[in-house]
Amino acid sequence: MKIRKINFFVLSFMLCAFSHSQIVLDGVFAVVGDHVIFHSEIENQITQIQSQDDVENVDSLRNQVIEDLFFQKMLLHFASVDSLEVDYSQIQNTINQRISFFTEQLGSVEKVENYFQQSITELTNELEPIVKDQLMIQQMQYQLTKDVAVSPQQLQEFFSAQEEANSLPIIEAQFQVAHILKIPSAADNAIDETMSKLESLRKRIIQGEDFATMAILYSEDPGSSRNGGSYFGIKKGDFVKEFEAVAFSLNIDEVSDIFTTEYGYHIAKLIDRKGNKIDVRHILMTPKISTKDMLDAKMSLDSIKQDVINEILDFPTAAKNFSSDTETRYNGGLLINPNTNSSFFIATELNPNILNEIVNMSIGDITDPFYIKLPNGNEAYRIIKLVSKIDKHVANLESDYAFLHNYCLSIKKEDVIKLWYKDKLSDVFIQPSEALIESNFYKNFVNNE
């Protein structure tokens, strides 16, 4: 239910994570501090990478995987030395988010369980140590690089050096697109039916039935339903404001009245309050959208498109007056790239459905209405306008300042971590196996000590 930007990497991570979780104790490749690298861990990661990309040099890939694993174990080791911690609530919420995403990809909770041949509870238990390690690694990297910055002068010097070396990055073709989104409204009878069901559940809970059980049986939030509808350690800004307004106003064990958000209709119960954070359960129900509702939304967008083409109104005005997307309706419908906070996207950053629609369009063209399923599960239609396009080019400070700043910053952060890694290798106990000693990574490691 939480609004978070999630790209397709999460799906790959989950597949890799579950492969990792299937490791058997078939032999220790190395011990790094208190952390073990198994032979099967290496093989699983190699297989995962090969399933996604064509790899010509397997030996080089193996060497890179070994080095990456050493680096991860080093970060974990010194995160423990530095007493870094990850909140249990953060682990649980991250797991809920990923299971919710996976449910959207496969279609239902049951399909997720069938795919992994395990219950959601079993998957959650397997993911917990993996997610904890990943969050710990992220926290350690943040601690190492949080003070790294790039001044305008440093960026100019970086740009000049890269230009002189003829190694400036190539900026792929970029697209600027705007949309008008139409989320169909449910019919009154569908809303009434949902309200009636939710009110009935609320009465049963107040009369003594268990909220968590009701959430498991009836809630339509895949990220929390199998966990009794619970989210832990929530602070202001984590959820949509309508949800927070109710959840933070409750007393412990109090059950809310029915309230609405963009996700549907809810009831919530406060589990606990710790300072400025709360633990909360909720049940979500969404009125069913009929085929007629969907067709009406599509026809409405088609009419809007024709009005724009016939210059009865312009696209920004149409977005402001008719789009269901509150985040873009007041900026002409422009989509914002979460990676750069600009309105330009390279092809790989665009949703494939959008890219397929605009790839052969001219600037100013508008698509026909096409179907979209939103991250919150709502179904909708939208039209896309290709507003602008920048052809592939060598990066320059005039038009690519933000990109070059982030590029320079990432290199500086990488250099800081590399220096830390090289410095700390001699401060950690490493127990090699014969296979490690024979590896190119270990030979290079010994030579660099």
Q: What is the pLDDT of residue 4?
A: 31
Domain boundaries defined on the chain: 9-149+409-448, 171-184+290-394, 188-285
Architecture of domain 171-184+290-394 in CATH?
Roll (3.10)
Strands 379-390 and 370-373: antiparallel
Q: What is the pLDDT of residue 114?
A: 86
Q: What is the pLDDT of residue 316?
A: 96
Architecture of domain 9-149+409-448 in CATH?
Orthogonal Bundle (1.10)
Please list, in sequence order, all residues whose beta carbon lies within 8 angstroms of the beta carbon of residue 170, skipping any fewer than 6 positions away: 392, 393, 394, 395
Backbone angles phi and psi of 122, in degrees to 5: -65, -40
Residue type, 147: D
Distance between CA atoms of residues 245 and 236, nearest Å: 9
188-285 folds as Chitinase A; domain 3 (3.10.50)
Q: What is the pLDDT of residue 195?
A: 95
Q: What is the pLDDT of residue 15?
A: 45
Q: What is the pLDDT of residue 166?
A: 93
Give the residue among 218, 201, 227 at the shortest CA–CA distance from 281: 227
Q: What is the pLDDT of residue 34?
A: 84
Backbone angles phi and psi of 420, in degrees to 5: -60, -45
Distance between CA atoms of residues 208 and 189, nearest Å: 29
Give the residue among 388, 384, 343 at the shortest CA–CA distance from 362: 388
User: Would you tell me how many other CB atoms lie within 10 Å of the CB of residue 102?
Assistant: 20
3-state secondary structure 159-174: HHHHHHCCCCCEECCE
Q: What is the pLDDT of residue 412?
A: 95
Question: pTM here?
Answer: 0.60
> Do the domains at 9-149+409-448 and 171-184+290-394 have one common CATH topology?
no
**Residues in the chain with pLDDT < 50?**
1-25
